[in-house]
Amino acid sequence: MEQNKILTLLKNVQDGKTSPEEALLRLKMEPFEDVHYAKVDHHRALRHGVPEVVFGEGKTPEQIAGIISTMLDRGEKNIMATRLDAEKAAAIKAVHPLFEYDPMSRIGITNREIEVTSSGLVVVAAAGTSDIPVAEEAAVTAETLGNPVERVYDIGVAGIHRLFGNLDTIMKARVVIVVAGMEGALASVLGGLVSCPVIAVPASVGYGANFGGLSALLTMINACSGNVAVVNIDNGFCAGYIASLINHIGES
Domains identified in the chain and CATH numbers: 31-110 (no CATH), 122-247 (3.40.50.1970)
Given a cut of 80, whether residue 122 has pLDDT beyond it is yes
Q: What's the mean pLDDT in 6-33? A: 77
pLDDT at 252: 65
pLDDT, averaged across the chain: 87
Task: Please write the tens of the pLDDT for every residue from 190-226.
Answer: 999 999 999 999 999 888 888 989 999 999 999 888 8
Strand partners of residue 96: none
Q: Which of 145, 125, 114 is nearest to 246 (CA)?
A: 145
Measured CA distances, 214 to 12, 83, 205, 211, 223 (Å): 54, 21, 10, 5, 14
pLDDT at 29: 59
- Is 104:96 a contact under the CB 8 Å cutoff? no
3-state SS assignment for residue 176: strand
Given a cut of 80, whether residue 48 has pLDDT beyond it is no
* Predicted confidence band of residue 2 (pLDDT cuts 50, 70, 90): very low
Among 20-34, 48-62, 126-140, 187-201, which stretch is predicted with the lowest mean pLDDT?
20-34
Q: How far apart are CA 108 and CA 83, in angstroms?
A: 9
Q: How far apart are CA 89 and CA 77, in angstroms?
A: 18
Q: What's the mean pLDDT in 174-184? A: 92
pLDDT at 158: 76
Q: How far apart are CA 214 and CA 237, in angstroms?
A: 18
Among 36-45, 119-128, 223-232, which stretch is predicted with the lowest mean pLDDT?
36-45
- Is 145:124 a contact under the CB 8 Å cutoff? no
Given a cut of 50, whether residue 1 has pLDDT beyond it is no
Distance of CA 251 to the CA centre of its chain: 18
